[in-house]
């Protein structure tokens, strides 16, 4: 009963997509059912006539894919188009292995534009593909550009090993248009990159995924580096499509030219406007709204609905984008002690009431992150209240804080 249900499921799948590549277990099930049906219908049929019925089942998807591609492209006389005799084309589509010529089959698949699909089929049907001369593999070259000599052999197949060269080229990194933004782009209502802050760069072909594992941050990860106006940027993270780094404090505000290098291959330069400040408060949900990343100053516990702040209590607000500080900070390094303070003291409001600010500067132990120490005003009513920072007349996002 279970086999019948599985067979019915497979029949429905093939009715929807005749090009579906079957798993080994599916092929075995269909092969078993086919042999049983043929044996019942033709009791005298020689056993060897059924030996390759599994091949027919496996090849069905390849033949259907060729027919589908021909119809989709409106191609009719494939023998004229490809220069392949008609009987060879029929052999390719029907799976007559003795009549298949691998070079002609490869040409046919390329004309149809299905070579990538055929590679997947070959990987799913390795033994049959090898007998047809269609066996394929994927070759991954090393990370360094240059010429590689490859020697290929296949277990179980006769003939001399195949030796050829493959040239690895260095992909060119590309910065997406508008892809340079503050790390907390969803949080920062101003969307401006600031010296000393954390920057996000989006694009393609940046390099292999790599993380910084020590401080100070390195200026290259996996051979990938970034410069702003020619100044190297310490990097937190690199992936093929994303880079996070700390913009050095000594990069001037105004227009900056950004270049990503993968090895010695540079991207096309892209310009971005750097602002003096662009305050943004961390939030619990990471989306820039709701409860802020705020601690009780006395206990360093998070302020939450079940552990609210109280009137007159000191709190610590974690944020980015507060701009220049009054002390030297090495690029990619954590804040020195005592922590440098911002050149301007920000304004903090809770429930639209001004809060006294006792400290504004870099957060100890972090790179590119600031802290603002403030006191909850005595007149703040209990409940969930809005909190905002304004730095040099530039407002941050509005977050919430629980007050009792």
Q: What is the span of the domain harbouring residue 194?
A: 174-274
Determine, yes or no, domain membership for 79.
yes
pLDDT tens digits along 19-78: 777 677 766 766 666 566 555 654 554 555 455 567 777 888 888 899 999 888 887 788
CATH number of the domain to which 219 belongs: 2.60.40.10
Based on the domain organization, do 264 and 333 belong to the same domain?
no
In a domain, 57, yes or no: yes
- What tens digit of pLDDT does each residue of 227-257 get? 999 999 999 999 999 999 999 999 999 999 9
Residue where a domain stops, chosen among 223, 256, 274: 274
Residue 1: band (very low, low, confident or very high) from pLDDT cuts 50, 70, 90: very low
Same domain, 24 and 112: yes
Listed residues 109, 131, 153: the one ending a domain: 131
- Can you give the pLDDT at residue 81? 79
Closest CA to 194 of 231, 233, 246: 246
Query: Helix or strand or coil: residue 123?
Result: helix
Is the model more confident about 10 or about 341? Answer: 341
**What is the 3-state secondary structure of 154-203?**
CCCCCCCCEEEEEEECCCCCEEEEEEEEECCCCCCCCCCECCCCEEEEEE
Query: Is there a domain that residue 35 lies in?
Result: yes
pLDDT tens for 108-147 read 888 888 988 988 888 888 888 888 887 666 677 766 677 8
pTM > 0.85: no
Q: Are residues 213 and 315 in the same domain?
A: no
Question: Is residue 157, in this structure, part of any structural domain at all?
Answer: no
- Same domain for 54 and 117? yes
Pairing of strands 210-211, 198-204: unpaired
So what's the pLDDT on residue 45?
Answer: 46
**Residue 264 and residue 221 in one domain:** yes
CA distances to 20, 134, 229 from 109, rounded to whole Å, are 17, 11, 49
Q: Is residue 154 part of a domain?
A: no
Mark whether 289 and 306 lie in a shared domain. yes
Q: Is the Cβ–Cβ distance between 290 and 284 less than 8 Å?
A: yes
Quote the percentage of the chain above a pLDDT of 70: 83
State pLDDT tens for residues 306-330: 999 999 999 999 999 999 999 889 9
Residues 291, 221 share a domain? no
**Residues 259 and 298 occupy one common structural domain:** no
Does residue 155 lie in a domain region? Answer: no
- Same-domain pairing of 70 and 85: yes
- Mark whether 198 and 312 lie in a shared domain: no
Distances (CA, A) of 115 to 48, 107, 111, 119: 33, 9, 9, 6
Specify whether 223 is located in the same domain as 320. Answer: no
122 and 236 share one domain:
no
For residue 30, tell me if it sits in a domain: yes
Question: Which of 259, 274, 289 represents a domain boundary (last residue)?
Answer: 274
Overall domain count for the chain: 3
Residue 146 lies in a domain: no
The answer to whether 182 and 193 are in contact (CB under 8 A) is yes
- Residue spans of alpha helices (H) in 205-315: none
């Amino acid at each position: 009963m279970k086999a019948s249900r599985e067979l019915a499921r497979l029949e429905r799948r093939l009715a929807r997509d005749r090009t579906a590549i079957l798993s080994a277990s599916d092929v075995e099930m269909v092969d078993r059912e086919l042999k049983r049906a043929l044996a019942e219908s033709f009791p005298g049929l020689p056993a060897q006539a059924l030996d390759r019925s599994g091949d027919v089942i496996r090849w069905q998807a390849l033949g259907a894919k060729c027919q589908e591609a021909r119809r989709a492209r409106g191609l009719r006389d494939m023998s004229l188009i490809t220069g392949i005799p008609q009987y060879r084309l029929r052999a390719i589509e029907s799976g007559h292995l003795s009549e298949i010529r691998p070079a002609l089959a490869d040409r046919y698949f390329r004309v149809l534009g299905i070579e990538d699909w055929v590679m997947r089929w070959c990987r799913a049907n390795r033994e049959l593909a090898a007998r047809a001369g269609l066996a394929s593999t994927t070759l991954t070259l090393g990370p360094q550009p240059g010429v590689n000599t490859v020697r290929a052999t296949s277990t179980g197949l006769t003939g001399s090993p195949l030796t050829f060269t493959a040239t690895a080229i260095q992909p060119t990194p590309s910065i997406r248009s508008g892809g340079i933004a503050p790390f907390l782009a969803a949080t920062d209502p101003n969307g401006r990159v600031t010296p000393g802050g954390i920057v996000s760069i989006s694009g393609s072909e940046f390099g292999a995924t790599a993380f910084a594992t020590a401080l100070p941050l390195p200026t290259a990860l996996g051979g990938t580096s970034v410069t702003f106006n020619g100044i190297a940027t310490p990097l937190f993270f690199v992936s093929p499509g994303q880079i996070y780094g700390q913009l050095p404090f000594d990069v001037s505000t105004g227009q900056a030219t950004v270049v990503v290098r993968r090895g010695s291959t540079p991207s096309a330069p892209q310009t971005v406007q750097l602002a003096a400040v662009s305050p943004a408060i961390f939030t619990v949900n990471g989306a820039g709204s709701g409860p802020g990343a705020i601690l009780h100053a006395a206990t360093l516990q998070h302020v939450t609905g079940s552990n609210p702040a109280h009137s007159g209590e000191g709190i610590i607000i974690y944020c980015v984008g507060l701009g220049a500080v009054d002390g030297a900070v090495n690029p990619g390094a954590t804040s020195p002690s005592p922590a440098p303070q911002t050149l301007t003291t920000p304004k903090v409001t809770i429930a639209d009431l001004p809060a006294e600010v006792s400290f504004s500067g870099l957060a100890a132990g972090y790179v590119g992150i600031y802290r603002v120490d403030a006191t909850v005003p005595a007149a703040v009513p209990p409940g969930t209240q809005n909190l905002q920072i304004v730095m040099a007349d530039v407002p941050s996002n509005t977050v919430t804080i629980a007050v009792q």
